[in-house]
Amino acid sequence: MPQTRPVTSAEGDLLAALFHPRSIAIVGISGKEVSLTSRPLQYLLRSEFAGALYPVNPNYEELRGLKCYPSLASIGAPVDLVLSMVPAAGVVDVVRQAGEVAAKAVVVFASGFAEIGPDGAALQQELAEAARAANVRVLGPNCQGVINNETGLIGTFTGAADRPLPPPSGVAYVGQSGAIGGSVLDLSTEMGLGLTAWASTGNQADLSLVEVATALLDDDGVRVVLLYAEGITDGASFVALAAKAHSRGKRLVMLRSGRSSVGRKAAASHTGAMLGDDISLVLTAQAYGVILVDDVDELLAVGAALASTTPMVGRRVGIVTTSGGAGILAADHFELNGIGVPELAEVTQTALEIDVPDFGATSNPVDVTAQILNKPNGTAAFGEVCKTVARDESVDAVCVVLTMVTGERGARLADAVVEASRTAGKPVFVSWLAGREQTTEGRAVYREHGFPVFASVGDVARTIGHIAPTANDLGVRAVKSAREPEGNAGELRALTEACAAGDAESEDLLDALGIARPRSVLARNAAEAAQAAAEMGGQVVLKVHAPDLAHKSDVGGVVLGVAAEDSGVEYDRLMGIAAANGIDAAGVLVQEMIPTGVELIVGATSTGDGFPATVTVGIGGVTTEIYQDVISQIAPVTAEVARRMLEKLRGWPLLDGFRGAPVADIESAVDAIVAVGRLIEQFADRVIEFEINPLIVAPKGRGACAVDVLISATPA
Backbone phi, then psi, for 316, in 5-degree steps?
-130, 140
378-432 tens-digit pLDDT: 889 999 999 999 999 999 999 999 999 889 999 999 999 999 999 888 999 999 9
pLDDT at res. 7: 37
Pick out the chain residues at pLDDT < 70: 1-12, 259-277, 471-489, 501-504, 715-716
Nearest to 228 by CA among 185, 266, 169: 185
Architecture of the domain spanning 598-713:
2-Layer Sandwich (3.30)
> What is the largest distance, in Å, between two alpha-carbon atoms of the chain?
100
pLDDT at 414: 94
d(C-alpha 271, C-alpha 693), whole Å: 10
CATH 3.40.50.261 domain range(s) in the chain: 312-467
3-state class of 713 per DSSP? strand
- From the list 608, 598, 658, the residue with the least C-alpha distance to 629 is 598
- Tell me the CB-side half-sphere exposure of residue 196, using CA atoms within 13 A: 19
Rounded to 5 degrees, what are φ and ψ at 563? -75, 155
574: exposed, middle or buried (Cβ count in 10 Å: 0-12, 13-18, 19+): buried
CB 431, CB 453: distance < 8 Å: yes
Residues in the chain: 716
SS3 393: coil
Contacts of 116 (CB under 8 A, 6+ apart): none
What's the gap between Cα 219 and its chain centre? 22
Rounded to the nearest angstrom, the gap between the alpha carbon of residue 415 and the centroid of all alpha carbons in its chain is: 37
From the list 325, 385, 375, the residue with the least C-alpha distance to 351 is 385
Distance CA 532, CA 283 (A): 45
Give span(s): CATH 3.30.470.20, the chain: 598-713
The 3-state DSSP class for residue 613 equals: coil
Assess contact for 396 and 424: CB atoms under 8 A.
no
Please answer whether residues 457 and 401 qualify as being in contact, where contact means their C-beta atoms are separated by less than 8 angstroms: yes
Task: Identify the pLDDT of residue 271.
Answer: 46
The Cα 525–Cα 434 span in angstroms is 78
pLDDT tens digits, 318-339? 999 999 999 999 999 999 999 9
The CA distance from 163 to 426, in Å, is 33
CATH of domain 519-592: 3.30.1490.20
Domain 12-306: homologous superfamily in CATH = NAD(P)-binding Rossmann-like Domain (3.40.50.720)
CATH topology of domain 312-467: Rossmann fold (3.40.50)
In the chain, the amino acid numbered 676 is V
Task: Assess contact for 230 and 174: CB atoms under 8 A.
Answer: no
What 3-state DSSP class applies to 496? Answer: helix
Count of C-beta atoms within a 10 Å radius of residue 482: 9
Locate CATH 3.30.1490.20 in the chain.
Answer: 519-592
Helix (H) or strand (E) holding 437: none
Burial of 347 (0-12, 13-18, 19+ CB in 10 A): exposed
Please give the Cα distance from 696 to 481 (Å, whole number).
Answer: 23
124 touches 89 (CB < 8 A): no
Q: What is the DSSP letter of 684?
A: T
